[in-house]
Structure 1
Amino acid sequence: MSVYVAKSNPALMQIQQLLLQMQQAMVAGNWILVQNLDRQISAQVQQIKQGAEHQELHVELQLIKQRYQALLQLAKRQQKMLEQKMQRFQDTKTAVVAYQLTTQASMEQNS
């Protein structure tokens, strides 16, 4: 999921690096870092949009936007996997509690 950016523009190169770090943080499940990187990317994009080169960098900004959207899809998939894992955990927890209550009741009947 790489994107070409103008090598002559340090801000675009920085955004590309931040996007890579963001992808790695998502895969690692480090959502606090993802949030921090997202803020940094937004600040960099705003800075570029306010600059004089904004029009010349339109194509590169579109590529960055596409990569960002792909990362959002990755985040959604990660979120779905986490929700499923949490649901399995909750189901297991409910089963364990039910087992404990049944065992406890059975032991009290035998006493």
Structure 2
Amino acid sequence: MARELRHRALALREKIDRIVARRPSPTGMVIPEVNAKGQLTGLYLAPGTCARFDSQELATEIMTAIQESTEDARRQYRIAMNDPADRPPPLGEIMREWRAAPGPKEQIPNFGKHGE
């Protein structure tokens, strides 16, 4: 059971690591890359972007794109975390399956408790 828990935790971590959002700015000249943790992992500026905008406009363009990408990453995270296929079976169901399984019952399922 502990091994199963470790595998599920690893699969969940990998699923979260695959979440990446890239939402362009209103003009499409700035594209940030934001991960599920809300971290900026990349920023693309189209050629001529810095020449087209003054510093305040460029900052607004970048921040707008980052905010939209962050919201998209959060949305992807919520969808991924609420996927019913990833939910572990209830403890009662695990116990029923264990009791119904053929073979010796000397070893009870280990639910992750140390020393038992």
Q: TM-score interval w.r.t. the shorter chain?
A: 0.3 to 0.5
User: When you count helix as a share of all residues, which structure comes out higher?
Assistant: 1
| TM-score after normalising by structure 2 | 0.42
Structure whose residues are more often strand by fraction: 2
